[in-house]
Amino acid sequence: MPLRLSILMAVTATVIVGFMLFLPALPQPQEYHHFADQRPVLGVPNALNVASNLPFVLVGIAGLLFMASRSSHRSGTFLQPAERWPYWVFFLGLALTGIGSAYYHADPNNARLTWDRMPLTVAFMALFAAVLAERIHWRLADWLLGALVALGMTSVVYWYWTETQGAGDLRFYLLVQFFPLLALPLLFLLFPARYTGTSDLIAALGCYGLAKVLELLDHQVYTKGGIVSGHTLKHLVAGLGSYFVLHMLQHRRPLTVVPPPMVIGAEPLQSDPVHTA
């Protein structure tokens, strides 16, 4: 465990320092707001890009209802009460992402983009905290959730503030958004799971990767028939990815294999016993 933690921390430090020191400041390109599909429907501008955010809202609400239901309290869904909090925050952030993104796409500009990105970072950081807690130690849910969510929100505030100063800098926000995509596969490889459902997380990660590709191919996809744009498909695929997280929670169970005891700092943190469902 100390060796695996050292590898994770070394990769983290290398990525963060390298990204912030060697990449120049990146202002928000204004072309980003010029999406391929700008067709209005029933008076709603950019209608498909607005409406395609509905899956985020639906999955977010379904996730919150699941967390409040008796089903989420069945034996084995969460071995520790603290592990529940990151998922509460994730689903809340997800629902707000759908609302914020729809608000942005109705009139794309930097000010509205803030309300798209803010809840998105909340959802990202909450899910990242959940995986860290489940792979390394459950107490990390208590220790890291608030800090990671605050870090994500700060990255958006910092980006928007730099834009208002005429020196836009996306690096901090991009680091918050993309570092978990690099760290999660490393966590899957280095640290054993305490629950089933890793395949759902991998599927969610794959959907998000595909969504980013579709975002980059927005205009190219739209020109293939003029029916739907890459950005609209991005929302739908990313919404599917968020559903995989809910599906994981609804069906997972504890594994009988438990990570060995580990030490963080000077205090040994013993792994809690895991009971089969």
Whether residue 53 lies inside any domain: the answer is yes
- For the chain, give the longest Cα–Cα distance: 62
Whether residue 224 lies inside any domain: the answer is yes
Question: Mind giving me the DSSP string for 93-121?
Answer: HHHHHHHHHHHHHHS-SHHHHHHHHHHHH
Residue 194 and residue 255 in contact, taking contact as beta carbons nearer than 8 Å: yes
Whether residue 175 lies inside any domain: the answer is yes
92 pLDDT more than 90: yes
| 61 alpha carbon, distance to own chain's centre | 16
Q: What is the DSSP letter of 46?
A: T
Residue 228 and residue 221 in contact, taking contact as beta carbons nearer than 8 Å: yes
Whether residue 229 lies inside any domain: the answer is yes
Q: How many structural domains compose the chain?
A: 1
Could you tell me the CATH number of the domain that includes residue 208? Answer: 1.20.1070
Whether residue 12 lies inside any domain: the answer is no
Backbone phi, psi, residue 254, to 5°: -70, 150
Whether residue 226 lies inside any domain: the answer is yes
Whether residue 9 lies inside any domain: the answer is no
Q: Determine the Cα–Cα distance for residues 108 and 165; give it in Å rounded to an integer.
A: 20
Residue 194 and residue 274 in contact, taking contact as beta carbons nearer than 8 Å: yes
Per-residue confidence at 261, pLDDT binned at 50, 70, 90? very low
Whether residue 160 lies inside any domain: the answer is yes
10 pLDDT more than 90: no
Model confidence over 213-239: pLDDT tens digits? 999 999 999 999 889 999 999 999 999
The domain in which residue 101 lies consists of 43-269
